[in-house]
Homo-oligomer: A and B are copies of this chain.
Amino acid sequence: MDFVNVRYVIKKPKLKNPILIEGLPGIGNVGKLAVEHLIDSVNAKKFAEIYSKDFPPQVFINTDGTITLVNNEFFYWRAKNKGQRDLILLTGDYQGLSSQGQYELVEKILDIADEFGVKEMYTLGGYGLGHDVKEPKVLCATTDKNLVKTMKKYGAVFKKNEPGGGIVGASGLLLGLGKMRGMQGTCFMGETPGYLVDPKSAKAVLKILMKITKIDLNLAALEKKAKEIEHIAHQLKEMEGLSKDKSEELKYIG
């Protein structure tokens, strides 16, 4: 096994000018949630797995008692209607653990993308605000200046100097290393408090992606999950509030 390994689980599919869409774990798991919802909604088919020696040495246990080695997974979907494009979808359990591991992983993803003739990609992630957000905006960054105008049209937001720390991880690296290979790419970052997984932010990202891909998605499942998370967040806050009150009470006593 090489440092990063690709394993096709079915015959390599023939795709026509496909778009790559990536969503790996990250802040609020926004990108992963969005791509997983997209995969489920369009019923995309898994065709390859990526294994890396820079992933944790870990297997997950499936509900039937069998194990699966942690990995990243490639899915494909073929365009159904006019205006749509074939899709390659990437999600997974982990990003690389080390800097070198991240670069190796992204280079391998781009190698696969190259084999399929990918010229355009979208990388999805979260932008952690550290506070609540009613209506999450979707920040954006691109490989090419001419894409900026297009993405604004679709509702993405460009804020000068935000995120100030740039984009860390696969979503940024795919754009940075892809650009050197002549690929165009756009990163969408859904605003998120960043404390919990954030289906609401994933929904906001998908809404823009729906316009770009001309695919109509039912977002009800994400909305339901969002409500559950909101409920949990509310409960956590109440508990925090209680313990704060208590500690304040204690101060009066002490």
A residues with a Cβ closer than 8 A to B are 1, 3, 7, 53-61, 63-70, 96-97, 99-104, 106-107, 140-145, 148, 158, 160-163, 165-170, 172-173, 175-177, 179-180, 187
Chain B CB within 10 Å, residue with most, of A66, A101, A168: A66
CB of A1 within 8 A of CB of B177, answer: yes
Kindly identify which residue among B56, B67, B148 contacts A187, using a CB–CB cutoff of 8 Å: B67
Interfacial chain B residues near A63, Cβ < 8 Å: 160-161
Task: Give chain B residues whose Cβ lies under 8 Å from the Cβ of A173.
Answer: 57-59, 69
Give the CA-CA distance A167 to B54 in the complex, in Å: 16
Contacts A7-B180, A57-B169, A60-B166 known; 9 new A-B pairs at CB < 8 A = A1-B177, A3-B100, A58-B172, A59-B176, A61-B162, A65-B142, A67-B141, A67-B143, A99-B101
Number of copies: 4
Q: How far is the CB of A3 from chain B (nearest CB, A)?
A: 8
Which residue of A1, A102, A161 has the most chain B CB atoms within 10 A of its CB atom? A1
By beta carbon, the residue of chain B nearest A63 is B160
Please state if A67 and B1 are interface contacts (CB–CB under 8 Å): no
Q: Which residues of B contact A104 (CB under 8 A)?
A: 53
Contacts of A170 in B (CB 8 A): 57
Whether B65 and A167, one on each chain, are in contact in the complex, defined by CB atoms closer than 8 angstroms, is no
Q: State in angstroms the CA–CA spacing of A201 and B80 once bound together.
A: 56
B64 contacts A145, C-beta separation under 8 Å:
yes
In the assembled complex, the Cα of A187 lies from the Cα of B59 at a distance in Å of 11
Cα–Cα, bound, A197→B170 (Å) = 30
Task: Name the residue among A7, A61, A101, A170 with the largest chain B CB count within 10 angstroms.
Answer: A61
Taking CB as reference atom, which chain B residue is nearest A254? B254
A66-B107 contact, Cβ under 8 Å, with A53-B100, A57-B99, A166-B59: no
